Amino acid sequence: MAVRAAVVAVLLLTSGLVGCIGIVEDEPMKQEAEAPPLTPMDRSTGGLEEAQPTQRVDLSDGDSFELTASYVKHDPGTGEEIRMMAYNGQIPGPELHLPQGAEVDVTFTNDLDQPTTVHWHGLRLDNPNDGVPNLTQQPVQPGESFEYTIEVPDAGVFWYHPHVRTDVQKELGLYGAIVVDPPKEDTERYPDESVLHLDDMRLVDGDVPDVYEEAVTYADSGRWGNQPFVNGTAEADVEVAPGERHRLHLINPSNARTWRLNFQGFATVEKVAAGPSYLEQPREIHGLRLGPAERATVDVEVDAESSARIVDEATTWTLATVTSSFEALGQSVVVQEAPSGPHERAQAEDREGFLAEEPDHTEHLRMLRNETMPADPNASDDGHGGHDHSAPDPPAGEVNAQPTDRELAWQLVDVPTGEVQPRYQYEVGDVVEFTVDIVHEHGGGGDHAAHSPVPHTVHLHGQRFMVSDYGGEDPEERVWKDTVLANDPVRDYQSVTIQVEMSNPGTWLIHCHISEHSEAGMTAVVEVEPASDA
């Protein structure tokens, strides 16, 4: 497949507030002798309303909904309120529940003092509603509104968040869940459910540090947090009926952290869905990794009058406590088996047959760290904040703010041609195989191709795919995805191969979902035209 010019005119953006999707120029970036000073973003809380808990919103086909982004003050679990951002005054934002196949209209209003958009992560909707600034729409300026039409053709768990300065706006609380319910058979009862947003925050002296209008900080490893931030506080509590199956929708909205979850004290844990689709059958698990922007749905059971915990292995943080109580039973009938309908429909899709198809196009993308720019004179090390490359993942945020995107760019490169930020063209109905690998280079020479210390996720907008290969190993399950870990230092692989079903026409972004990396240029574009024989 021919790759067109690396940088498209409509995508040339600055690295400041308008640097929404991190497009970089063909020529190597150069640092001025004296870079202009950075302007800290306002961190005051005077006059702000307190954030409210998340509210569930049930929407039906044809409904309308209003969504507003604004500033609030909120205690992230430290006992002190800080300036944050919220959708409809809630952190996380409203929890949207829709039936599969529904279409709703969302009027979005920006009450921030900086541009923003809303991206509906994982939804295969019409391209103009995808929320990517200067690609599918213009940024929504302060005081302005934008009309989105949201379609949900797939059952599963999705989420929404900004696509402008995600390194700051998402970090400060702009995200919310979308749960798309499959058709429910009258003969089956579904478990009660809860949504857990498994986030982390980086706090210094009680506040979020190093947020500037002109530059993206923590551009190397990303803004790893030093405190858990789950459903708006340090730890979530879920109460369930004893012996009853309870469904947990897990979402990772963190800027950079890959969660390595350990389920402790549960009677059973079964994984039933991964993001945009159900598994072909439930699978019993004891642990789960969840990269930035990935989702999973698990059914858990807890014995009578006992409690269980979801713990992150790297930090030993308790992210959620699940407690069994007879008070939670109420008048309900105990559900002990997973409803079979969604899994039977997944089996009927012939996913094995899709993975066996010969691809129409084969591509090779490389995730590359570009240090062709002069090093930041204020950085005290190689730009990794002193992180030990022999250890996977900075467990509790051992990274610093340098370098910024002024000194460091991340790139997606088409390997056969060497084109940076390639633009691919396909037709609806094409099957495309992408192999994505990561090389962690240093300006002073050498690389860490055999061991990148930080796992990266890749997200493809508007389409769905299946993983066919994790660094030479077969996946444990056949499931549709929109986001995947391209490398994992713990599992010791540095590449992933995915098979994409090009089903949705439009111009779509593919990028790393470490927020700082996409803002620093780790993007490419996929154009999908209607089928020529249609």
* Residue 332 clears pLDDT 80, i.e. is over it: no
Structure tokens at 382: 């190689």
Q: Which range has the worst mean pLDDT, 141-145, 164-168, 374-378, 485-489?
A: 374-378
Side by side, the strands of the sheet bearing 192-201 are 227-230, 192-201, 246-251, 295-301, 268-274, 277-284
Closest listed residue to residue 73, CA positions, set 91, 97, 55 = 91
Residue 319, judged by CB atoms within 10 A of its CB (0-12, 13-18, 19+), counts as buried
Q: Identify the H or E element spanning 390.
A: none
Q: What is the pLDDT of residue 145?
A: 98
Domains of the chain: 9-37+354-373+408-529 (2.60.40.420), 56-181 (2.60.40.420), 192-348 (2.60.40.420)
pLDDT band at 385 (very low <50, low <70, confident <90, very high): very low
As a whole number, mean pLDDT of residues 321-335 equals: 75
Alpha-carbon distance of 194 to 427, in angstroms, equals 39
Q: What is the pLDDT of residue 328?
A: 66
As a whole number, mean pLDDT of residues 510-531 equals: 97
Side by side, the strands of the sheet bearing 145-151 are 82-87, 64-74, 103-110, 145-151
As a whole number, mean pLDDT of residues 60-72 equals: 98
Q: What is the pLDDT of residue 371?
A: 64
212: CB partners within 8 A, 6+ apart: 38, 39, 40, 41, 404
Q: Which tens digit of pLDDT belongs to each residue from 397-414?
A: 678 898 999 988 999 999
Q: What is the pLDDT of residue 251?
A: 98
pLDDT band at 159 (very low <50, low <70, confident <90, very high): very high
Q: Under the phi-then-psi rule, with left for phi > 0, alpha for psi from -120 to 50, and beta for the rest, what region is 171?
A: alpha
* Residue 519 clears pLDDT 60, i.e. is over it: yes
Handedness of CA 98, 100, 102, 107 (dihedral sign): positive
- How do strand 192-201 and strand 246-251 relate by DSSP bridges? parallel
Q: Could you tell me the pTM of the whole model?
A: 0.91
Q: What is the pLDDT of residue 34?
A: 64
Q: Which tens digit of pLDDT belongs to each residue from 15-54?
A: 333 344 444 333 444 444 466 889 999 999 999 999 999 9
Pinpoint the alpha helices (H) of 29-178: 166-169
User: What mean pLDDT is reported for the chain?
Assistant: 88
Q: What is the pLDDT of residue 6?
A: 36
Alpha-carbon distance of 169 to 85, in angstroms, equals 7
Q: Compare 257 and 332 and report the one with higher pLDDT.
A: 257
* Residue 514 clears pLDDT 50, i.e. is over it: yes
Alpha-carbon distance of 297 to 278, in angstroms, equals 9
